[in-house]
Amino acid sequence: MSEAIQPRMIDFKPHEIPLEDFDISQRELWSEDLKMAYFERLREEAPVHYCKDSEFGPYWSVTRYADIMEVDSNWQDFSSEPAITIIDPEEDFPLPMFIAMDPPKHDDQRKTVQGSVAPANLKNLESTIRGRVQTVLDELPVGEEFDWVDRVSIELTTQMLATLFDFPFEDRRKLTRWSDVATGGPETGVVETEEQRREELMECLAYFTRLWQERQEQGLSNDFISMLAHGEATKDMSPEEYLGNLILLIVGGNDTTRNSMTGGVLALNENPGEYAKLRNNPGVIPNMVSEIIRWQTPLAHMRRIANRDYELGGQTIKQGDKVIMWYLSGNRDERAIENPNEFIIDRKRARQHLSFGFGPHRCMGNRLAELQLRILWEEIQKRFHMVEVVGEVERVPSNFVHGYTKMPVVLHPL
């Protein structure tokens, strides 16, 4: 590790440091979970805020719910190209993917694959998902400590991904690894060097290229690879574009639901009154799932580039400027959500949150995510009085993936 990437000490005084020195993207704020106080001050005093310099260059932060909605649904003025996270794409290693394309190309590629996670198809998946959740939960040790992230959250989301790709089941943890490598780098500790990261992603491409060839020779089936290999808008993609779209689908289906599976357990532990509500009324689970997704906001931000000068919140965003929509902040905005800092499983209008985004890029897998979380909680409630968090959680040191690497728990039987 080089000097530059050693953790810096953060002077944590969110109410004293001048607003012009605010840089919410600093990793230390995220690993130590200090960002909420920063966001609160931004929403209050500078809801459209310009950070003139950061590890990721200059950028605007949009932190209020209504402003985020305005930017997110206006794809004409705010482009998703060439990337949708705060970090700029590497020029010599571009990974085009449809989430980072504007209409009409975005629409053509998305339509190729979205049928497999559309609600009509989910009906067919429900019994498979329930069977797997039952197996995973039944194999857990009761009364002794284990890591919920690894044994439940990662295992279930990885199994789901393997199904969606029709990926060799015994190799499924490769998908977890590629997801981590795609969203992390040497700075997050997931790999030693950038070269190692690229090598691993090229292994991913090589593995999936074999699957592509195999699926191309067979007729069209309902898995992502087959749909891409046969789709009019995708069958002639370059290798970079194939890899980019694979990463999109892997990360989209992996980091997100995984961290909501962990975050929900944590939130219920921090709010024992809500856990009691759940025990008394399992019918609240669908509503609770939306509240968990709001509470966790597993992807903390999305990024856009202004296509023209644009007035927002009394500020002028200049053409070409980088604009970060902080979903995590918007989901705590009291202007849009009543008592936003409280986790309330029977909250009214719980579906009205920003975690899936809005506009043409709205999460394609949102119904599948909700289905997986609903089934998980239905099956947990049939088996356990409590999933008790018994130690400190470890957080992903990222300002994009808002989640956990470890959460020690003990199960208490009914």
Partner 1 sequence: MPKITYIEHNGTQHEVDAEVGVSVMQAAIDNLVPGIDADCGGECSCATCHVMVKEDWVAKTGSPEEGEESMLDLNPERQGNSRLSCQITVTEELDGLIVDLPEFQF
Question: Looking at beta carbons only, is 82 or 359 nearer to partner 1?
Answer: 359
Q: Is 127 in the site for partner 1 (CB under 8 A)?
A: no
Q: How far is the CB of 119 from partner 1 (least distance, A)?
A: 3
Q: Is residue 94 near partner 1 by the rule CB under 8 A?
A: no
Q: Tell me how crowded residue 170 is: count the other CB atoms within 10 A of its CB.
A: 8
Packing angle of the helix pair 366-383, 285-296 (nearest 10 deg): 120
The number of residues in the chain equals 414
Q: Between 343 and 356, whose beta carbon lies closer to partner 1?
A: 356
Stretch of residues binding partner 1 (CB under 8 A), selected from 65-73, 264-272, 327-335, 384-392: 65-73
Residue at token pair 């090598």: 199
Nearer to partner 1, 36 or 118 (CB): 118
Q: Going by DSSP bridges, is the β-strand pair 146-147/408-413 parallel, antiparallel, or unpaired?
A: antiparallel
Size of the site for partner 1 (CB under 8 A): 22
The alpha carbon of 69 is separated from its chain's Cα centroid by a whole number of angstroms, namely: 18
Contacts of residue 239, Cβ cutoff 8 Å, sequence gap at least 6: 205, 209
Q: How far is the CB of 394 from partner 1 (least distance, A)?
A: 32
Nearest residue (CB) to partner 1, 124 versus 280: 124
Q: The tokens of 138 are what?
A: 């039944």
Q: How many other β-carbons are positioned within 10 Å of the β-carbon of residue 107?
A: 15
Under rule CB under 8 A, residue 356 binds partner 1: yes
Tokens for 61?
């932060």
Instruction: Using the rule CB under 8 A, give the single segment among 157-165, 257-265, 352-360, 386-394 that binds partner 1.
Output: 352-360
Alpha-carbon separation of residue 31 from 9, 248, 397, 398, 405 (angstroms): 12, 24, 4, 7, 11
Residue 360, preceding peptide bond in cis (omega within 30° of 0): no
The distance of closest approach from Cβ of residue 73 to partner 1 in the complex, given in angstroms and rounded to an integer, is: 4
358 part of the interface to partner 1, by CB under 8 A: yes
Give the x/- contact pattern for partner 1 in 253-292, rule: CB under 8 A.
----------------------------------------
- Secondary structure (3-state) at 116: helix
Among 82, 103, 231, 408, binds partner 1 (CB under 8 A): 103
Long-range contacts: 183-191, Cβ < 8 Å, 24+?
183/251, 183/255, 183/398, 183/400, 183/401, 184/396, 184/398, 186/1, 186/5, 187/5, 187/27, 188/27, 188/396, 188/397, 188/398, 189/397
107 binds partner 1 (CB under 8 A): yes
Q: How far is the CB of 295 from partner 1 (least distance, A)?
A: 16
Write the Ramachandran bin of 295: left for phi over 0, alpha for psi from -120 to 50, otherwise beta.
alpha
Q: How far apart are the first and last CA of the chain?
A: 47
Nearer to partner 1, 106 or 174 (CB): 106
Q: Which of 27, 351, 374, 383 binds partner 1 (CB under 8 A)?
A: 351
Contact in structure between 63 and 43 (CB atoms under 8 Å): yes
Q: Which of 35, 43, 110, 304 binds partner 1 (CB under 8 A)?
A: 110
Q: Which stretch binds partner 1 (CB under 8 A): 195-203, 340-348, 355-363, 383-391?
A: 355-363
- CB of 362 vs partner 1, minimal distance in Å: 6
111 binds partner 1 (CB under 8 A): yes
Residue 103 or 408: the one with the smaller Cβ distance to partner 1 is 103
Of the residues 186, 313, 360, 408, which one makes contact with partner 1 according to CB under 8 A: 360
Q: Which stretch binds partner 1 (CB under 8 A): 179-187, 243-251, 321-329, 347-355?
A: 347-355
Q: Which residues bind partner 1 (CB under 8 A)?
A: 69, 72-73, 103, 107, 110-111, 114-115, 118-120, 349, 351-353, 356, 358-360, 362, 367
